[in-house]
Amino acid sequence: MSSLRLDRLLTLCIFRHLRSDVPGRGGFRLPVLMYHSVSDRSEAGVSPYYRTATSPKVFAEQMALLLAEGWEVVSLKAGLEALRGGRATPMKVVALTFDDGFRDFRSAAFPILRQHGFGATVYLPTAFIGQQPIQFKAHECLTWDEVRELHQAGIEFGSHTVNHPELVRLPWPEVEREVRDSKTEIEQRLGARVTAFAYPYAFPRAQRELVGRLRRLLCETGYESCVTTDIGRASAGTDLFAVPRLPMNDCDDAELLKAKLAGAYDWLAVPQRAFKTLKRLMSWKGGTNEGGN
């Protein structure tokens, strides 16, 4: 089924030959892989591009490929530190991120990461992290005891707001509470500083005033990075408060994953941005604010 994907077809047949990196040229770029659920959850009827679940079997295959290809697999914090290292940085560093704090990270993803010695960053919507498992998007989230256990095992945790709202639809005081309160709770629960933030839904890059205001808020609150749903890899010149990522799901076979890591998927950032701009213009015409996907 993945062979019918237009993004895969164009990536492998055209852009892999035009845009793939040549070691030693163009500087180090950091691929940041964006996962959500690692489970056998059915996404029948959802376009492969928009799926967010990766089966444990496929996830294990993807991690085995990273190991076999010689990638150093790290948390976002470690990846950004490598990016700042410049020319001395190994060329094959990739960061793993997991949004939404689903419980299957602990049961399905973490054992594989631990087996290979891989790092990762997990972003928590704190309203759904409790003493007992709480459902979010019809999926159980981690408990605070499990978060502490994973933190002690070396997993980095960041904020995904409190309630996972569409921030563009909220009054600014509520945006501030979502950003600040989530960070405060994770820090209190773990006894550790939280510096990573993941923007929920589509990043409103076209709204420059809002993006600038959010960046100032994140800086003032003590965050050091913000990952987005924008497609691409991070470079030395990337704004650390608008870090692009590469979406991952069950349809990412070995060839597509290797192409994404090499930069052949970065072309999709242009049509993605054009689509978001068009969507925003249409929402203005209809008298509504921009939402996210």
Residue 42 three-state SS? coil
Sequence-separated (6 or more) residues with CB below 8 Å from residue 59 = 35, 38, 108, 109, 112
| Alpha helix (H) residue ranges in 162-253 | 172-190, 208-221
> Domain-by-domain residue ranges, the chain?
2-201+208-282
* Torsion from C-alpha of 179, 185, 190, 191, nearest 10 degrees: 90
Q: For the segment 149-206, what is each residue's pLDDT rounded down to a tens digit?
A: 999 999 999 999 999 999 999 999 999 999 999 999 999 999 999 999 999 999 998 8
- Rounded mean pLDDT of the chain? 90
> Do 90 and 82 form a contact (C-beta atoms < 8 A)?
yes
Give me the phi and psi of 245, to 5 degrees please. Answer: -140, 170
Residue 147, number of CB atoms within 10 A of its CB:
23
Quote the radius of gyration of the chain (alpha carbons, Å): 18
As a whole-number percent, the residues of the chain with pLDDT over 90 amount to 78
Could you tell me whether strands 32-35 and 93-98 are parallel, antiparallel, or unpaired per DSSP bridges? parallel
> Would you state the CATH architecture of domain 2-201+208-282?
Alpha-Beta Barrel (3.20)
- Which pTM value belongs to this model? 0.91
Beta partners for residue 97, in sequence order? 34, 121
**pLDDT digit string, tens, across residues 53-106:** 999 999 999 999 999 999 999 999 999 999 988 655 567 999 999 999 999 999
Kindly state the average pLDDT of the residues 269-278: 77
| Cβ-based neighbour number of residue 274 at 10 Å | 10
Calpha distance 280→181 (Å, rounded): 29
Q: What is the mean pLDDT of residues 246-258?
A: 97
